[in-house]
Amino acid sequence: MKIALITGEYPPYVRGGVGHSSYLLVRQLRKKGIIVDVYVYSGRSHEPIFSESGTTRYYAFSAGNFWPVIDLYAFMKLRSKVNHYDLVHAYWGREALGFLKKINPSIKTVATLAGVGLACLNYRKWVRSPCEECSSHDLLHCAFERKKWIENKFFKFFVPAPVLFTYFDMRRWCAQRLDKYFALSQTMKEMHVAAGFLEKKIEVIPNMYDPEFFEKLERINVKKRVDKIVILYVGRLSEEKGVEDLIRAFSKMSLNNVELHITGSGPKREELENIANATEMKKQIKFLGWTNYDVLPIIYKSADIFVHPARWPEAFGRTILEAMLAKLAIITSSSGAPRHILGDSGVIYETGNVAELTGKLEMLIENKEIRVSLGARAYDKATEHYDPDTVTSQIIRNYEELIK
């Protein structure tokens, strides 16, 4: 079997979960003797990497967020290559691959639904009231409600709602042409079915944990502080991640034996620091900044409680999986996949409800027995359901069904 995998992130240029997830899958597939060629549209140049188990090629361009150019670029690069493979798997460029599938029906195609980008134009509306069906009228309404700017280092301009509606509808139509989809969670499946993707084509296959990361967690021994309870957030500092809600909830507790550690970087960092500095708990809120992936196991093992306060329908959340492996008690908002990932091994609060989040934090801070119990249950669930061999076997089975 020979597979082409398309991604927008891949080592050494990884910004988020897609880069880690696509790399883990490629590594697992190659271990099982499957040849995988990787096409990386990262916007960063890098020399090709050749091996007997597959080649990795990096394509650089400077289109910023100007998606029409990016889509055209991907289409032109892929057009002459897709026929050389038994199957093409897209973590990125699903619409370009869908257009290729339309003009060349013989190619076998699959995509991982790792985000809401092609299912929902306005995730805030989905959080308020999930859509059972996204009609053209609904899509046009969301286009007018959402403000959209396109920018890169050369220009910035506002996209009128009718243009945004038309372009989004065309991209989604192309992406719906593929043979199969792997939804990272039930939430992603529901959102894409509501957006017109065929339910029978979508199978829920979650992310796998990183075995090397897991080994580091198991190997290192970090002595937790006995005088402090450490609450941890790991992730991007952007509006949709809800870190402001966490800071405001933390600041309402007025406890001396707690600290909040915020690990990550992003466009909202300065604003979040200003919010933290305006609270009475400012000395107990630590911004750790971006942290190398190799150091993260120590940060997780030093914490007691992990909070994922997302305001949007998260596709999966790799940091939740990492916190589960670290045996942390976990609190997450009700948006998206995290509540399904945790099940009864975590604590859920209503998205955006700062008072409820404060109450959940106080409950875990006051009760070590509950923290330990939740952490143990989360660990057991992570090792049982998100094991790399289990997840990879599901993916290979779907590959084989498509190409036989």
| Two tokens, residue 58 | 């990096």
Identify residue 300 by its one-letter amino acid code: Y
One digit per residue, the tens of pLDDT, for the chain of length 404 reads 999 999 988 998 887 788 899 999 999 999 999 999 999 987 777 899 999 999 999 987 655 556 566 677 777 878 888 889 999 999 988 888 898 998 889 999 999 998 888 888 887 777 777 788 888 888 888 888 876 765 555 556 677 888 888 888 888 999 999 999 999 999 899 999 999 999 999 999 999 999 999 999 999 988 888 889 999 999 999 998 999 999 999 999 988 899 999 999 999 999 999 999 999 999 999 999 988 888 999 999 999 999 999 998 888 888 999 999 999 999 999 988 888 889 899 999 999 999 999 999 999 999 999 999 999 999 999 999 999 999 999 999 999 999 98
Claim: this prediction has a pTM higher than 0.85:
yes
Residue 188 to residues 195, 203, 277, 351, Cα–Cα distance (Å): 11, 10, 36, 17
Q: In this structure, are residues 210 and 24 in contact, taking their beta carbons and an 8 Å threshold? A: yes
**What's the order of all strands across the beta sheet hosting 202-204?**
56-58, 35-40, 2-7, 87-90, 109-113, 180-183, 202-204
Sequence-distant (≥ 6) Cβ neighbours of residue 140 within 8 angstroms: 161, 162, 165
pLDDT number for residue 150: 59
| Two tokens, residue 251 | 């600041």
Domains annotated for the chain, with CATH where assigned, are 2-208+388-403 (3.40.50.2000), 211-385 (3.40.50.2000)
- 12: preceding bond cis by omega (within 30 degrees): yes
Q: Could you tell me how far CA 172 lies from the centroid of its own chain?
A: 19
Among residues 55, 74, 58, 77, the alpha carbon closest in space to that of 11 is found at: 58
Provide the 3-class DSSP secondary structure of residue 114: coil
